[in-house]
Structure 1
Amino acid sequence: MTSLRQHIDPKAIRRLRRVALNTIVTLYLLIMAGGVVRSTGAGMGCPDWPRCFGTWIPPTDVSQLPDNYKEIYGAKLKGEVEFNPVKTWIEYVNRLLGAFTGIMIFCTLLATLAFWNSKRGFFWLALLGFVLVGFQGWLGSKVVSFELHPVVVTVHMLVAIIIVGVLILLFDKADRLAYERSSGLGLKQSRIGWWVLGLTLVQVMLGTQVRENIDEVVRVLGYDARSMWIDHLDFRFYLHRTFSILVLGINLYWFQMIRKTPQGYKDLKGIIVWSVVILGLETATGIIMAYFGVPAFAQPVHLTLGILLLGLQFILFLNTKSKDVEVGRVEKVL
């Protein structure tokens, strides 16, 4: 490991680590913004893409639009487009965050060029993330053109999760190299980790199905009938709620396994503590939505916490390879 580090500029690796971390933070802000868009019904706040009501900076008042704007922009929306400055700007800020995320991941890609001759895998990971962000931008346009079709919205969320995973993997690799850190947990925790990640991902996807079910109910009852939404949901809501018990149980079991690994727990204590806190908050926001009329603030928070929990789980999982296996692999490369 030491001879490998001799060929790497310490400033470059720490710069990559910092840029990758900032990009991850930006991604989470974008995910939260997307949750706000859905919870407020602002998804069609801008009825066209990439512009918004035909301009790069959207209007703030209906007087800035032509008198027949509903006919111009409402053709594909069956004439239902109605200008709402709050919803328009919520969607517009979401798009700005998306563009900024693209810039951040491009900066991450540039930061990996310093390792082209030593750790080329950094570049390919960053390039994958950059391509996926481009695809996500294209998919975002389809979310508009398909009028928030449930399948497109769900795929949009799944791609966002994959992008976060790619950036976390890049950050973890850079962090290991920057601070000569190796894995502290064993293969038994790794096997359970696969189940934890898989079941949590299934739970997040079930959550998107519940969100789609809510959209169906909203189209019938309207946004002013929040207190009645839960009563009109189908089996997807009850499946999501019941499955949460399994997810909660296996997460706590996994955290307890890691806790019994002295060195591993010492290195990862902070991440485990935050994972437990986020798991608790995730459960609490789910209860709030189920029993307190699905308040708008809880929806984006619940979504963001779920993706954040997945990210922390992935970091823990990346530390579930035995030290002997990892050191052996490095020595073989050298």
Structure 2
Amino acid sequence: MFLIQLALIGMCIALLPLSYVWVKASDDKFRKLVWVTTFLTLDLVMFGGFTRLTDSGLGCPDWPGCYGTASPFIAHAQIAAAHAALPTGPVSMTKAWIEMIHRYFAMAIGVLIVAQTLIAWVARIKRRPLAVSPWWPTALLALIGVQGIFGAWTVTMKLQPIIVTTHLLLGLALLGSLGWLAARVTPMPVYEPGAARYRTAALVGLSLLVVQIALGGWVSTNYAVLACTDFPTCNGQWIPSMDFAHGFHLWRALGMTSDGDAITQDALVAIHWTHRTFAFVVIAYLVWLALQLRRYASLARPAMGVLVVIAVQFATGLSNIVLAWPLPIAVAHNGGAAVLLLLLVVLNFRTASSRPGRAALAARGTATA
């Protein structure tokens, strides 16, 4: 019964953006729906970071509901008992609500993607032109299903770092895929074949960012943000004592080594130092790439966005260290990585679409949207 209640909650939340898209004066409601879903998925990724950073991932220690109910209101007695038994533990009414709100909005995103899938397949059946194949939103629907599985494992496997990090990366994969779909259904301002020469460079930049995001997720899920307490050195040393073997052993419990012992400070330092050091490689490359791409009219705005977000990311990353990881800045750092991913997805799409022959094909596709 509570599963039906959860589904109804997700549908009710999704009705708000669906209503906005429906009443909006636009000839292309599918494109509006894709962009709204992309924006809300970005919000969900940021709220997921907030959930993790407030230690609310086990606020409801079962899945998909909360103590077998659809709401912390209904599970109030169980939550109060768990909190009374262990006041410093992971369960409290506040944390339960944070966790369930995250789940509610994830379900709403799922409803929006179901709506995209239905619209696309109906358009295919009725032979109405659409800028994308219906298999695109269908693939997104499958992806969000896999994401839900890892969300369940995040809880049932007690925040195991590799599961939580994979859950984060799948969420960003969903966001990036939605960003690509949004770019696909949106006409480009101008097609410039000369930009195609940077297609490989843009793909390399996106790949480097994905690696850096994975390293950042590993830092966050292992709570290694404060393993280095100063900058630019780490605990007063340029190359501190580090334990890479235990730090980057993937399959282990939170706070433990693969041997079942408590993870050492040297292992946490190795995680933090690797993320910090690789950040300079990513920053240098993306700044160079953005400076090259901003010369093209169709790429100028996202390229400038990359430069701005990189500056913000550097500032928030540094603040997390020197200000001892304040929650708003930590959430902003997570959100900045997601925005940077979206910008690079757009740049990759536009450089790929600028190849000879692809520009005309993309123009025909968006003209029929």
Corresponding letter in the other structure for 2:93: P
> In the TM superposition, what are the counterparts of 1:1-334 in structure 2 within 5 Å?
14-59=28-73, 64-65=77-78, 83-116=91-124, 117=127, 118-119=129-130, 121-176=132-187, 182=191, 185-214=194-223, 233-260=268-295, 264=296, 266-321=297-352, 322-327=354-359
| Inter-partner Cα distance in structure 1 for 2:364 and 2:93 | 61
Distance in 2, matches of 1:29 and 1:119, equals 27
TM superposition shift of 1:148: 0.7
1:197, distance to aligned residue in structure 2 (A): 0.5
Partner secondary structure for residue 324 of structure 1: coil
* Distance (Å, rounded) in 1 between the aligned partners of 2:315 and 2:225: 24
Cα distance in 2 between the residues matched to 1:83 and 1:332: 54
Provide the C-alpha distance between the structure 2 equivalents of 1:60 and 1:245, rounded to a whole number of angstroms: 49
Check conservation: 1:37, 1:43, Cα contact below 8 A: yes
Between 1 and 2, higher relative CO (CA 8 Å, sep ≥ 6) is seen in 1
C-alpha contact 1:196 1:254 (8 A) present in aligned 2: yes
Count of matched residue positions in the alignment of Structure 1 and Structure 2: 303
Q: Secondary structure at the match of 2:222?
A: helix
**Where is the helix percentage greater, Structure 1 or Structure 2?**
1
Q: Which amino acid aligns with 2:357?
A: V
Residues 293 and 300 of structure 2 are in contact (CA less than 8 Å); yes or no, is this contact kept in structure 1? no
Question: Is the 2:224–2:271 contact (alpha carbons within 8 Å) kept by the matching residues of 1?
Answer: no
What TM-score results when the alignment is normalised by the length of structure 2? 0.73
Per-residue deviation at 1:274?
2.0
Shift of 1:267: 2.6
C-alpha contact (below 8 Å) 2:165/2:214 kept by paired residues: yes
- 1:187-230 deviation digits (Å, cap 9, x = unpaired): 3211211111011111001101111331798987xxxxxxxxx9
Amino acid at match of 1:90: I
Aligned residue type for 2:312: L
**Percent same amino acid at aligned positions?**
24
Give the letter aligned to residue 282 of structure 2: V
CA distance in 2, matches of 1:297, 1:309: 18
TM-score by length of 1: 0.80
Using the alignment, how far apart are the partners of 1:141 and 1:309 within structure 2?
Answer: 27
Conserved 8 A contact 1:44-1:144: yes
Q: Deviations over 1:41-69 (max 9, x none)?
A: 0110011111112321103996x338865
Q: 1:183, 1:319 within 8 Å by CA — same for their partners in 2?
A: no
Does the Cα contact within 8 Å between 2:132 and 2:185 map onto a contact in 1?
no
What stretches of structure 2 of length at least 5 have no aligned partner?
Answer: 1-24, 228-253, 256-264
Offset of residue 231 of structure 1 = 9.4
CA RMSD, aligned part only? 3.4
Q: Is the 8 A contact 1:203 1:244 kept in 2?
A: yes
- Structure 1, unmatched stretches of 5+, are 1-10, 221-229
